[in-house]
């Protein structure tokens, strides 16, 4: 008889013992389970998501890009200011009109006057390096808002990667219910958004202040009061909400397409398509008359991006001047809440009802 | 096939909500504790999964008792992995139910999963994390506290599967065998009461397979219940005490391994001359006529070397009596081997009708094996039993 058969036979001998009722086994002493209430489990899962993000090379790369973006604008402005600082004051002399030059009416300007023009131009150029303007640039990097794309990539990856690689089945078979895993993703996305916006704002503002030292223009703090700080916080919160809305869209598309690519492409397409659709609707509305025209012109104010930006614009109006948004904060909040409910609800439904077959 | 209607789904949702609302209470905790002490660890009732018209698992009834090492066998596409996925809540059953630790998987999955460790087909982990970090993630998902205690347990399981030296290597660089080991480590991480292992020796070398077998036997000795799905019948035969065989989603056999093999037992006798073979056959046939009821059919087989062997369908424990019977008639065996039979023969007979026609498999012996599926153990007599009886009828 082979060794294997012998082992089998030996095992057969022990079978009656196995069939007997055995006491409930206890876990070994090194397995220490934490609290199992909903919040504790959720916090543990969020911690787990953040641990994965921290250990990912991609998140480090995205973080570095975000810091570079926050530094880029102050750096560009700082270089321009430095170049102008080195330029002689005479170069700032206003050009003499050709007719005046021909008739010899252009008289040379005094050095003090030219220095005044230079200082004025440098003050104007370096304005984005100083608060309050530096806050706007640090948080949004202008109209395009490239940092928002970074959060879409990050969140699309943490949600879709789990589904495309199949690790979702490992997670779902461990204990917490599916909804908690989804909430953990939202929690991690929210934390990344908060850290991203605050981080970029802080880095951008500090970098602006540092580069501003070269301009020699002092920071004017007269704007600073409790109301300004309040609006600044609301502005940052509105920016976070704007980012988080796209993070939610990325999670939805990632779950819908069960992949990272679907999450990123879906949210990025949404991000770029909204302004185009908005313009098309306005354009079509202007060419239509009556109810159809009013309806088409009204539609862009119900698009997600426009409402998220409206909240930012409302605070920017207080902080940095300029025109306010076309729709009210209340409308923006209600619209965004509906978008959130739809996207989170659909993702929840997909997550709960789908079979994990990969 | 029974269908789950929308009312049923709504009822389940309501039940689940109610369950979540009360699960923190002391009464419920006491109920869970009682359920965990149930002797029936897994019990499925008409468990069915259909993907459109394709029925992956049909009316499955299985029972796994505490301490069982339960082999779950079947050809590719038989529905083994789908069943395991249903038991883990990854796939929703189309109909039927499954009870684990006395709790219904439809309502109390999170509580059940805290006592279950699973390895599902090829394990998948985060490719950018090391073995240790992946286990940290699994530990957090399993409810283990972070910190030193957690790290100690991770080290323990890494040592157990011999991945301690590669603990810092990222998962994407792992070989197939290392991935499998990490999967087993993850399954064992919380030291669960029940282990669901789907092809645990996939990708392992013979030494690795042997170690996993040893590990399963050690865990079984500790009182763990193991549900093992495998293609490797020799492996199953060595470690499992009970098996269920699935084909095309239907349960065709369930029973004790020893009971299944009892009907396959043979006594092999080598004799020197063809005259002795003829006389031996005659002696044994006469003994059977004279009422030696444990004697089955007797036939002659030639091996590859052309050596003839007398195959006697009889329990191994009667080897001495066979020897005595022959020697009384002055037939002296050159060699006499008790042969226990193999699960492979049982499996092939049940799953491939063509093989089942082979005389050497001892059809007659197996045909009488239907009592292994006790109809009273199950709620319906129309489960896999019905089909298996048909199959057997055809093959016999």
Using the Cα atoms of residue A218, residue A222, residue A223 and residue A225 in order, give the sign of their dihedral.
Answer: positive
Average pLDDT of chain B is 78
* Confidence check: pLDDT of B377 > 50: no
Largest CA distance in chain A: 121
Determine the pLDDT at residue A157: 92
- Whether A56 and chain B come into contact, CB under 8 Å, resolves to yes
Distance CA A17, CA B310 (A): 35
Q: Tell me which residue in A34, A37, A173 faces B24 most closely, judged by beta carbons.
A: A37
Q: Which of A18, A52, A55, A181 to mutate to probe the B interface, most B CBs <10 Å?
A: A18
Give SS3 for B73.
Answer: strand
Distance CA A344, CA A346 (A): 6
Task: Please tell me the distance in Å from A66's CA to the nearest CA on chain B.
Answer: 22
Task: State the count of interchain CB pairs (< 8 A) between A and B.
Answer: 164
Judging contacts by C-beta atoms under 8 Å, the chain B residues touching residue A36 are 114, 143
Q: Tell me which residue in B156, B193, B220 faces A24 most closely, judged by beta carbons.
A: B193
Whether A30 and B137 lie within 8 Å, measured CB to CB: no
- Whether A174 and chain B come into contact, CB under 8 Å, resolves to yes
Give SS3 for B382.
Answer: coil
Distance CA B157, CA A28 (A): 12
Judging contacts by C-beta atoms under 8 Å, the chain A residues touching residue B340 are 5, 8-9, 12
Whether B143 and A7 lie within 8 Å, measured CB to CB: no
Whether A18 and B144 lie within 8 Å, measured CB to CB: no
Q: Which of A7, A21, A25 to mutate to probe the B interface, most B CBs <10 Å?
A: A25
> Which DSSP string corresponds to B132-171?
HHHHHHHHHHTTBPPSHHHHHHHHHHHHHTT-GGGTTSBG
Backbone angles phi, psi at B308, to 5 degrees: -90, 145
Q: Tell me which residue in A9, A25, A45 faces B193 most closely, judged by beta carbons.
A: A25
Q: Tell me which residue in A24, A169, A353 faces B36 most closely, judged by beta carbons.
A: A24
Determine the pLDDT at residue A319: 82
Whether B67 and A24 lie within 8 Å, measured CB to CB: no
Q: What stretches in chain A show pLDDT beneath 50?
A: 1-23
DSSP B104: E
Chain B's closest residue to A30, CA to CA, is B153
Determine the pLDDT at residue A263: 94
Split at pLDDT 50, 70, 90, the class of B372 is very low
Q: Find all residues with CB under 8 Å of A16, minimum gap 6, and list them.
A: none
Give SS3 for B91.
Answer: coil
Distance CA B115, CA A219 (A): 62
Whether B142 and A1 lie within 8 Å, measured CB to CB: no
Q: How many helices (H) and strands (E) does chain A have?
A: 14, 0
Task: Please tell me the distance in Å from B290's CA to the nearest CA on chain A.
Answer: 31
Using the Cα atoms of residue A101, residue A107, residue A108 and residue A112 in order, give the sign of their dihedral.
Answer: negative
Question: Measured between alpha carbons, how far is residue B186 from residues A166, B182, B190 in Å?
Answer: 15, 6, 8
Whether B92 and A7 lie within 8 Å, measured CB to CB: no
Strands B225-229 and B69-73: parallel
- Whether A350 and chain B come into contact, CB under 8 Å, resolves to no
Distance CA B6, CA A214 (A): 70
Question: How crowded is residue A195: how many other Cβ atoms within 10 Å of its Cβ?
Answer: 14
pLDDT in tens, A180-226: 999 999 999 999 999 999 998 899 889 888 888 877 778 888 888 89
Q: Which one has a higher pLDDT value, A233 or B204?
A: A233
- Whether A50 and chain B come into contact, CB under 8 Å, resolves to no
pLDDT in tens, A306-337: 898 888 888 888 888 777 777 888 999 999 99
State the DSSP H helix or E strand holding residue B247, giving kind and residue range, or none if neither: strand B242-247
Chain B's closest residue to A43, CA to CA, is B140
Distance CA A350, CA A248 (A): 14
Distance CA B53, CA B149 (A): 49
Determine the pLDDT at residue B342: 76
Strands B63-65 and B40-51: antiparallel
Q: Which residue has the tokens 């990344």?
A: A192
- Whether A342 and chain B come into contact, CB under 8 Å, resolves to no
Distance CA A82, CA A126 (A): 10
Q: What percent of chain B has pLDDT over 90?
A: 20
Judging contacts by C-beta atoms under 8 Å, the chain A residues touching residue B172 are none
Whether B257 and A22 lie within 8 Å, measured CB to CB: no
Split at pLDDT 50, 70, 90, the class of B101 is confident
- Whether A169 and chain B come into contact, CB under 8 Å, resolves to yes
Q: Tell me which residue in A4, A11, A175 faces B113 most closely, judged by beta carbons.
A: A175
pLDDT in tens, B18-65: 666 655 566 666 666 655 556 888 999 999 999 888 999 999 999 998
Distance CA B361, CA B343 (A): 11
The answer to whether A151 and A193 are in contact (CB under 8 A) is: yes
Chain A's closest residue to B236, CA to CA, is A8
Judging contacts by C-beta atoms under 8 Å, the chain A residues touching residue B65 are 19, 21
Backbone angles phi, psi at B170, to 5 degrees: -75, 150
**What count of residues does chain A have?**
358
Q: Tell me which residue in B68, B192, B238 faces A8 most closely, judged by beta carbons.
A: B238
Q: How many helices (H) and strands (E) does chain B have?
A: 16, 15
Paired tokens of A31: 């397995």
DSSP B130: B
Determine the pLDDT at residue B23: 57
Task: Please tell me the distance in Å from B394's CA to the nearest CA on chain A.
Answer: 31
> Which DSSP string corresponds to B352-363?
-HHHHT-GGG-H
Scored b (16 or more CB within 10 A) or e, A2-24 reads: eeeeebbeebbeebeebbeebee
Q: Tell me which residue in A7, A20, A34 faces B238 most closely, judged by beta carbons.
A: A7
**ipTM score of the complex?**
0.79
Chain A's closest residue to B40, CA to CA, is A21
State the DSSP H helix or E strand holding residue A320, giving kind and residue range, or none if neither: helix A304-320
Whether B156 and A28 lie within 8 Å, measured CB to CB: yes
Chain B's closest residue to A59, CA to CA, is B128
Q: Which of B143, B153, B168, B243 to mutate to probe the A interface, most A CBs <10 Å?
A: B143
Rounded mean pLDDT, B98-103: 89
Q: Which one has a higher pLDDT value, B370 or B127?
A: B127
Backbone angles phi, psi at B197, to 5 degrees: -115, 115
Q: Which of B49, B90, B265, B344 to mutate to probe the A interface, most A CBs <10 Å?
A: B90
Q: Which residue has the tokens 């993907």?
A: B51
Q: Which one has a higher pLDDT value, A142 or B395?
A: A142
Rounded mean pLDDT, B179-191: 90
* Confidence check: pLDDT of B189 > 70: yes
> Which DSSP string corresponds to A78-127?
HHHHHHHHHS-GGGGSPPPPHHHHHTT--PPPPHHHHHHHHHHHHHHHTG
DSSP B267: E
Q: Is residue B343 packed enough to be buried (19+ CB in 10 Å), middle (13-18) or exposed (0-12)?
A: buried
Q: Which of B63, B130, B137, B219 to mutate to probe the A interface, most A CBs <10 Å?
A: B137
> Which DSSP string corresponds to B284-323?
HHHHHHTT-TT---EEEEE-TTS-EEEEEES-GGGHHHHH
Question: Measured between alpha carbons, how far is residue A85 from residues A76, A113, A125, A134, A216 in Å?
Answer: 14, 16, 11, 20, 9
pLDDT in tens, B318-357: 888 888 888 888 888 888 887 777 777 777 777 766 544 4
pLDDT in tens, B143-152: 888 777 788 8
Average pLDDT of chain A is 83
The answer to whether A170 and B85 are in contact (CB under 8 A) is: no
Backbone angles phi, psi at A77, to 5 degrees: -65, -40
* Confidence check: pLDDT of B186 > 90: yes
Strands B298-302 and B242-247: unpaired
Q: Find all residues with CB under 8 Å of A156, minimum gap 6, and list them.
A: A250, A251, A253, A254, A260, A262, A263, A264, A266, A267
Paired tokens of B364: 């007659």
Judging contacts by C-beta atoms under 8 Å, the chain B residues touching residue A353 are 92
Q: Which of B15, B106, B114, B140 to mutate to probe the A interface, most A CBs <10 Å?
A: B140
**What count of residues does chain B have?**
396
Chain A's closest residue to B114, CA to CA, is A175
Whether B137 and A51 lie within 8 Å, measured CB to CB: yes
Backbone angles phi, psi at B329, to 5 degrees: -100, 20
Judging contacts by C-beta atoms under 8 Å, the chain B residues touching residue A14 are 221
Judging contacts by C-beta atoms under 8 Å, the chain A residues touching residue B146 are 44, 47
């Amino acid at each position: 008889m082979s060794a294997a058969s012998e082992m089998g036979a030996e095992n057969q001998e022990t079978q009656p013992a196995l069939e007997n009722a055995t006491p409930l086994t206890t876990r070994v002493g090194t397995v220490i389970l934490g609290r199992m209430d909903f919040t504790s489990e959720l916090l543990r899962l969020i911690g787990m998501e953040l641990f994965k993000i921290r250990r990912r090379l991609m998140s480090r790369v995205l973080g570095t890009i975000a810091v570079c973006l926050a530094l880029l604008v102050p750096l560009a402005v700082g270089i321009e200011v430095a170049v102008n600082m080195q330029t002689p004051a005479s170069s700032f002399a206003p050009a003499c009109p050709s007719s005046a030059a021909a008739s010899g009416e252009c008289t040379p300007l005094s050095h003090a006057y030219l220095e005044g023009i230079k200082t004025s131009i440098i003050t104007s150029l370096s304005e984005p390096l100083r608060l309050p303007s530096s806050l706007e640039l640090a948080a949004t990097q202008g109209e395009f808002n490239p940092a928002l794309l970074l959060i879409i990539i990050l969140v699309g990856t943490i949600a879709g990667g789990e589904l495309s690689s199949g690790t979702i089945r490992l997670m779902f078979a461990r204990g917490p219910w599916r909804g908690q895993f989804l909430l953990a993703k939202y929690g991690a996305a929210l934390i990344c958004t908060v850290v991203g916006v605050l981080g970029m704002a802080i880095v951008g503002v500090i970098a602006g202040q540092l580069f501003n030292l070269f301009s020699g223009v002092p920071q004017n703090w007269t704007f600073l009061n409790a109301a300004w700080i309040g609006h600044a916080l609301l502005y940052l919160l509105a920016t976070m909400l704007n980012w988080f809305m796209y993070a939610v869209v990325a999670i939805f598309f990632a779950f819908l397409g069960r992949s990272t690519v679907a999450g990123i492409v879906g949210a990025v397409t949404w991000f770029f398509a909204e302004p185009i659709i908005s313009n098309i609707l306005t354009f079509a509305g202007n060419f239509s008359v009556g109810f159809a025209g009013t309806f088409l012109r009204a539609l862009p104010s119900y698009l997600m991006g426009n409402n998220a930006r409206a909240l930012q614009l409302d605070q920017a109006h207080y902080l940095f001047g300029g025109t306010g948004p076309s729709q009210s904060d209340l409308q923006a909040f209600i619209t965004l809440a509906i978008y959130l409910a739809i996207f989170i609800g659909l993702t929840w439904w997909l997550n709960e009802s789908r079979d994990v077959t990969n | 096939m029974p269908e789950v209607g929308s009312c049923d789904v709504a009822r389940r949702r309501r039940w689940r909500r109610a369950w979540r609302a009360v699960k923190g209470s002391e009464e419920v905790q006491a109920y869970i504790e009682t359920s965990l002490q149930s002797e029936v660890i897994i019990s499925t009732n008409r468990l069915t999964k259909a993907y459109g018209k394709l029925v992956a698992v049909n009316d499955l009834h299985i029972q796994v008792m505490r301490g069982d090492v339960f082999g779950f066998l079947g050809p590719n596409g038989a529905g083994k992995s789908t069943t395991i996925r249903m038991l883990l809540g990854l796939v929703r059953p189309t109909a039927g139910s499954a009870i684990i630790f006395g709790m219904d998987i439809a309502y109390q999955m999170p509580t059940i999963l805290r006592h279950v460790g699973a390895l599902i087909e090829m394990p998948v982990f985060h490719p950018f994390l090391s073995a240790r970090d992946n286990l940290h993630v699994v530990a957090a998902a399993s409810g283990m506290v972070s910190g030193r205690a957690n790290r100690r347990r991770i080290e323990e399981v890494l040592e157990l599967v011999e991945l301690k030296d590669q603990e810092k290597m990222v998962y994407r660089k792992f070989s197939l065998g290392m991935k499998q080991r990490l999967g087993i480590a993850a399954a064992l991480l919380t030291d669960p009461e029940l282990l669901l292992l789907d092809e645990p020796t996939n990708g392992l070398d013979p030494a690795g397979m042997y170690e996993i077998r040893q590990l399963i036997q050690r865990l079984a000795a500790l009182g763990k219940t193991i549900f093992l799905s495998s293609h490797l019948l020799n492996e199953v035969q060595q470690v499992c005490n009970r098996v269920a065989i699935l084909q095309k989603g239907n349960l065709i056999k369930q029973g004790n391994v020893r009971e299944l093999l009892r009907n396959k037992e043979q006594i092999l006798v080598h004799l020197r001359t063809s005259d002795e073979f003829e006389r031996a056959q005659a002696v044994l046939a006469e003994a059977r006529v004279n009422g030696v009821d444990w004697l089955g059919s007797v036939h002659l087989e030639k091996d590859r070397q052309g050596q003839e062997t007398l195959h006697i369908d009889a329990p191994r424990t009667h080897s001495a009596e066979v020897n005595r019977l022959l020697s009384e008639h002055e037939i002296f065996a050159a060699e006499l081997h008790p042969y226990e039979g193999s699960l492979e023969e049982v499996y092939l007979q049940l799953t491939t009708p063509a093989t089942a026609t082979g005389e050497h498999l001892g059809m007659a012996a197996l045909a009488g094996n239907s009592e292994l599926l006790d109809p009273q153990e199950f709620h319906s007599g129309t489960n896999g039993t019905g089909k298996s009886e048909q199959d057997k009828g055809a093959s016999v």
